[in-house]
Amino acid sequence: MKNFLSIYFSLISISLYPLYSENQEAYIQMSSSVTQTPNLITGTFILSDKGSAIPINNFDVSPNYDFVICKIPGMYLICTGLEIAVLSKGVSGYVDSWFELNGSPVPASNSRQFVNQDSPIAPVTNIFLMELKAGDTFGTKFIASGPNIGLICIKNLTDKQPDILSFGITLVKIY
Amino acid sequence: MKLYIIPILILSLSSLKGEEVEAYAQINSAMTQRPAKIVGSLFIAENIAANKNFDFSPNNDFLICKIGGIYFVSASIQPAALNLGINGHLDAWFELNHKPISASCSRTYVTEKSPISVMTIPFIIELKPGDTLGTRFAASNPEIGITYIAAPSSIEPSVPSYTLSIYKVNK
């Protein structure tokens, strides 16, 4: 009887697992308050500030805060915001930004934005749906067409206005 | 007592629940596109990167909803001056059942000095089964459209000219 009951309740637990894993929440939001420029040959992972992962639920973060590590598999909505800028006078060019999954570029995730002396700053928002597995690493990489073009953080605007951060990323599990 | 029925019921109910509530799609285009004069054109997205519970028009210019509900939708567009010396703007908006959706339009300028821009339009909308959803665009100059950039370098993926992401929010 004891053996039967333990097997039976194990079966109940196993059958409840799909409901449980589907309903497990996972989300993370991080940001950067640092002006960043990329390596012009290899591109560079965009770094978030250490300790900026608020809120965070069922994600890990790499020690350098350059990518997140998925813990719960599922379909995710990913949003990034970048503040692209020329960082010196007389400069014009573009920034490309894309996603990397497990160290490889994600197809069709790239975008390009030009900036110049007359329009020195431009916000870029990327929204993407992506299936992630447990253990997958996910980050954002960027590259520029020349030096002195990158991501800018603008601080101390007024006491009524928050700083303009150079980068923000949000991932939320939707299914 | 047929106790074995209970786990089987739970298993089948949980899989049925997942099938009923999930609906999402992500489509994109690897084509440079120009809008028609006056009326504009619907973006064509010939690549279906992800799809659950959507159908697509034969021309790949709009989605057809299968599961009614509230949806989050986002269009990402690469407006561009497609020739030298061109300055002007590009507008883009969503269409539901071939009618413009109010408050969904966005405008960006491209110039000689900044010939390529990126524009993102996020929106929430209620869809019923059979509803069609597309993105239309118009430009101030026939040489302004959306551009595809094939693998800008060996370390970068291509830049699609248009991407539409949509998923059902309520469960």
What pLDDT is stored for residue B60 in this prediction? 96
The predicted-structure confidence for B77-135, as pLDDT tens digits, reads as follows 999 999 999 999 999 999 999 999 988 999 999 999 999 999 999 999 999 999 999 99
B29-50: pLDDT as tens digits: 999 999 998 889 999 999 999 9
Helices A2-23, B5-21: crossing angle, 10 deg rounding = 0
Q: Which residues of B touch A12 (CB under 8 A)?
A: 6-7, 10
Give the pLDDT band of residue A26 (cuts 50, 70, 90).
very high
The answer to whether the CB of B127 falls within 8 A of the CB of A85 is: no
- Listed residue (A93, A43, A151) closest to B114, CA to CA: A93
- Angstrom CA distances, B20 to A29, A99, B53, B145, stand at 29, 30, 9, 38
Comparing C-alpha atoms, which of B29, B31, B41 is closest to residue B142? B41
| Range name among A118-122, A144-148, B65-69, B167-171 with the lowest pLDDT average | B167-171
Identify the DSSP state of B109.
Answer: E
**Distance (Å, rounded) from C-alpha A104 to C-alpha B156?**
9
Read off the pLDDT of residues B58-79 as tens digits, 9 standing for 90 and up.
Answer: 999 999 999 999 999 999 999 9
Asked if A93 contacts A119 with a C-beta cutoff of 8 angstroms, the reply is no
Confidence of residue A18 (pLDDT cuts 50, 70, 90): low
Residues in chain A closer than 8 A to B153 (CB atoms):
143
Query: How many whole angstroms separate alpha carbon A38 and alpha carbon B108?
Result: 26
Q: Other C-beta atoms within 10 Å of A5: how many?
A: 10
**What's the confidence (pLDDT) of residue B79?**
97
What's the pLDDT score for residue B115? Answer: 95
Q: Is the peptide bond before A55 cis (omega within 30 degrees of 0)?
A: yes
Q: What is the DSSP letter of B43?
A: P
Q: Which residues of B have a CB under 8 Å from any CB of A? A: 3-4, 6-8, 10-11, 14-15, 17-18, 22, 24, 26, 28, 30, 47, 49-50, 72, 74, 76, 78, 111, 113-118, 120, 122, 149, 152-153, 155-160, 163, 165, 167, 169
Say which range, A6-20, A44-58, B8-22, B28-42, has the weakest mean pLDDT: B8-22
pLDDT at position A21 over 70: no
ipTM of the complex: 0.82
pLDDT at B14 over 60: no
**Predicted local confidence at residue A1, as pLDDT:** 80
Q: Which residue has the higher pLDDT, B79 or B9?
A: B79
Distance of CA B118 to the CA centre of its chain: 14
Contacts of A42 in chain B (CB under 8 A): 155
pTM listed for this prediction: 0.85
Please give the Cα distance from A36 to B104 (Å, whole number).
33
Tokens of B134: 């597309």
Report the distance separating Cα A29 and Cα A25, nearest Å: 14
Instruction: Say what percent of chain A tops pLDDT 70.
Output: 92
Quick one: average pLDDT of A25-31?
94
Is the model's pLDDT at A15 over the cut of 70?
no
Say yes or no to pLDDT of B136 above 90.
yes
Spatial neighbors of A20 by CB under 8 A, at least 6 apart, are: none
Predicted pLDDT at B39: 84
Cβ neighbours, 10 Å, residue A90: 8
Of A124, A167, A122, A143, the C-alpha closest to B76 is A124
pLDDT score at B21? 83
Q: Is B126 helix (H, G, I), strand (E, B) or coil?
A: strand
Split at pLDDT 50, 70, 90, the class of B170 is confident
Split at pLDDT 50, 70, 90, the class of B9 is low
In chain B, residues with a C-beta closer than 8 Å to the C-beta of A117 are 113
Those residues with Cβ within 8 angstroms of residue A57's Cβ, 6 or more apart along the chain or in another chain: A25, A26, A27, A28
Mean pLDDT of A65-90: 96
Q: How many angstroms from the chain centroid is the CA of residue A117?
A: 29
| Residue B19: predicted pLDDT | 45
Mutate to test the interface with A, among B155, B161, B167, B168 (most CBs of A within 10 A): B155
pLDDT tens for residues A123-160? 999 999 999 999 999 999 999 999 999 999 999 778 77
What would the mean pLDDT of A56-65 be, rounded to a whole number?
A: 96
Q: What's phi and psi for B160, nearest 5 deg? A: -70, 150
Q: What pLDDT does residue B3 have?
A: 67
CB contact under 8 A, A128 and B8: no
Residue B12 clears pLDDT 90, i.e. is over it? no
Range list of H helices, chain B: 5-21
One-letter amino acid at B79 equals P
Q: How far is A109 from chain B (nearest CA, A)?
A: 7
DSSP state of A90: T
- H-helix or E-strand spanning residue B90: strand B88-96
Q: What pLDDT does residue A24 have?
A: 87
**pLDDT of res. A162:** 85
